[in-house]
Amino acid sequence: MIIGVPKEIKNNENRVGLTPAGVAELRKHHHTVYVQASAGVGSGFQDAEYEQAGAVVLPTIADVYAQAEMIIKVKEPIQEEYALIREGQLLFTYFHFASSEELTHAMIERKATCLAYETVERADRSLPLLVPMSEVAGRMAPQEGAKYLEKPLKGRGILLGGVPGVKPAHVLVLGGGIVGTQAAKVAAGLGAQVTIMDISLNRLRELDDIMPKNVVTVYSNEYNIREAIKTADLIVGAVLIPGAKAPHLITRDMLKTMKAGTVLVDVAVDQGGCIETCKPTTHEDPTFIIDDIVHYCVANMPGAVPYTSTLALTNATLPYAVKIANLGWQEACRQNSDLRLGLNVVNGEVVYKGVAEAWNLPLVSVDSVLEPAHV
């Protein structure tokens, strides 16, 4: 198969869809890989490394789209890319169609085939291509929190781990899923006193078993949250209710009960946030202050560490990309139910229920597009 890797052109996106190691793997299976010049530079990969791995570097994004049967990237195509997409071309990337009607219509119009990272789903309902970014954001949360707790950055001026003779900071983590677990682990590793809250008792049992002694688990309810925020120095928002907006566990009135200079890192901001006063911010201007409480609400936290994020993402996407390249997308989706659930649009027809419902579009069954006769 001919595979193309364009440079991401979305504002401030430094990740890339394939690493030189990924190119080498696809070459091993006798596929052709075209990489746009400087596509990997933001993540620390030079063109020469791609060439050494067996890729052909092409000068422009138009060259890559013109050659490739499958485009592997990170973010959804943006307007400048729409016209480059050819009928039936396969795009393997994040799309988040339910949040963009314009993108959905553009892909339908271009008659593209879109395999969306975010809906590739395992039988146990886990989302293998979303997990790596949650791991990155979770581990970043205490690091960013620690930074903004410093006085010059308007925080309380407390060191997460304390020092001998001075007690450490109290870190409250709301939600004990992927983000919350990674956040708790890093905060605990830095020596903080950590409280992790979840509504799943089974999850709390698991966390109680695996976490170090400076992490305690507490059942999440309004009463317990109101108590914990009085002593917290750093609060990490990490809740998720699949398919729904995050619940506001910390409401505006609660800010008054917190210590001045407390830092809130609402990782769940991409789903509306679990702290009422959070609104999405960017890496250029990550924080704002309300009632003396520092709010950090960057919606694409992994974007700040493109080297780690690119490797983490491609570790997860590459086995699927190899499968698609070896078998073709139709056979790969017939054989692999994870990938089948990733199909959102096929030759301009919507095949994913959530997308059809979101924009009131006709839904075509995946089975019908996977029939051998279907072009």
Binding residues for ligand NAD (CB under 6 A): 133-134, 137, 174-180, 197-200, 203, 220, 238-241, 246-247, 249, 267-271, 299-302
Q: For the sheet containing 263-266, what is the strand order?
A: 215-219, 193-198, 170-174, 234-237, 263-266, 293-296, 287-290
Q: Which CB, 263 or 268, lies closer to ligand NAD?
A: 268
- The minimum distance between CB 180 and ligand NAD, in angstroms, equals 6
List the end-to-end C-alpha distance of the chain, in Å, as a whole number. 17
Q: Return the DSSP state at 37.
A: T
Q: Return the DSSP state at 225.
A: H
Q: Which residue has the tokens 């520092």?
A: 294
| CA dist list (Å): 362 to 7, 39, 335, 354, 368 | 33, 36, 26, 11, 14
The answer for residues whose C-beta is within 8 angstroms of residue 28's C-beta and 6 or more apart is: none
- The minimum distance between CB 16 and ligand NAD, in angstroms, equals 18
- The minimum distance between CB 13 and ligand NAD, in angstroms, equals 13
Q: Which CB, 68 or 133, lies closer to ligand NAD?
A: 133
Query: What residues are labeled active site?
Result: 96, 270
Q: Which CB, 238 or 318, lies closer to ligand NAD?
A: 238
- The minimum distance between CB 12 and ligand NAD, in angstroms, equals 13
Per-residue H/E/C for 304-348: HCHHHHHHHHHHHHHHHHHHHHHHCHHHHHHHCHHHHHHEEEECC
Give burial (CB, 10 Å; 0-12/13-18/19+) of 111: middle
Q: Which CB, 114 or 178, lies closer to ligand NAD?
A: 178
- The minimum distance between CB 365 and ligand NAD, in angstroms, equals 28
Asked if 239 and 145 count as a contact pair (C-beta separation under 8 A), the reply is no
Instruction: Count other Cβ atoms within 10 Å, centred on residue 136.
Output: 22
Residue sitting closest to ligand NAD (CB): 177
- The minimum distance between CB 266 and ligand NAD, in angstroms, equals 8
Q: Return the DSSP state at 267.
A: G
Q: Which CB, 4 or 175, lies closer to ligand NAD?
A: 175
Coil, strand or helix at 166: strand
Q: Which CB, 69 or 198, lies closer to ligand NAD?
A: 198
Measured distance CA(338)–CA(332) in Å, rounded: 10
Q: Which residue has the tokens 């109290």?
A: 170
